[in-house]
Structure 1
Amino acid sequence: MNMRVFIPLTLAAAAAVALVSAPASATGVIKCKAGPVSGWKTQDELTKKLTKEGWTVRKSKVDGGCYEVYGTTPEGDRVEAYFHPVTLEKLYVGRRGEVLFRKQGY
């Protein structure tokens, strides 16, 4: 095999192995120190709370020890928001790279 072809192929293979073997990690902008999951309120409780406040929740998941919500605010903004899983307190709301709300200390 030609060395000009061999070296780029070797580098590409090494990069692919590194990507596949990299551990999954949280991608969120907020991290919560919320203690054991047994003390958390449920995602369903958060969805009900937000719906009562006028939000539309499309999806929620755990990220960085917080609840991450994709939805629409009562004002009509499509956002990504983070809530504390024990208190359900709003910690962060962002829209396409723009921070709409960020609780002090987070």
Structure 2
Amino acid sequence: MKRLLVLTALGSLLSATTALATGLATCDSGPQETWQPQATLEKQLTDKGWQVRRIKIDGGCYEVYAIDEKGQKVEAYFHPKTLAPVPTKKS
């Protein structure tokens, strides 16, 4: 019985740690049908000189992996309605 309790507690701790590590930004973005298309964000960034590698959804935000105009690797978050940059929480 003790072993089961210890394993359950350990599993809960690992789940909480994973949730904290992945949630760097959160957007109150509403339903996806009200969002701007990812292609619009990609064009906005490539017009600034970025090389966009991937755009995905994370925490209700668009998460972008890219190389910026200075040649630096970037992981950035943008609000899907406004396409404004979203500040991230440091983990």
Common fold: TM-score over 0.5: yes
Q: Which runs of 5+ in 2 are unaligned?
A: none
Q: 2:76 is paired with a residue of what secondary structure?
A: strand
2:65 matched to 1:70?
A: yes
Percent identical pairs in the alignment equals 44
Q: Following TM superposition, where does structure 1 have runs of at least 4 consecutive aligned residues deviating by more than 6 angstroms?
A: 13-16
User: In structure 2, what is the Cα distance between the partners aligned to 1:83 and 1:45?
Assistant: 12
Q: Which runs of 5+ in 1 are unaligned?
A: 1-9, 98-106
The answer for the alignment partner of 1:57 in structure 2 is 52
Whichever of the two has the greater Rg, that structure is: 1
User: In structure 1, what is the Cα distance between the partners aligned to 2:54 and 2:82?
Assistant: 19
Q: TM-score, normalised by structure 1?
A: 0.62
User: In structure 1, what is the Cα distance between the partners aligned to 2:30 and 2:81?
Assistant: 9
The answer for the alignment partner of 1:42 in structure 2 is 37
The structure showing larger relative contact order (alpha-carbon pairs under 8 Å, at least 6 residues apart) is 2
| CA deviation profile, 1:36-81 (whole Å, cap 9, x unmatched) | 1111001111101100011110001000000000011112110110
- RMSD in angstroms over aligned alpha carbons? 3.1
Q: TM-score, normalised by structure 2?
A: 0.72
Q: Name whichever structure is richer in strand by fraction.
A: 1
Q: Name whichever structure is richer in helix by fraction.
A: 2
Q: 1:34 is paired with a residue of what secondary structure?
A: coil
The answer for the alignment partner of 1:80 in structure 2 is 75
User: In structure 1, what is the Cα distance between the partners aligned to 2:56 and 2:64?
Assistant: 7
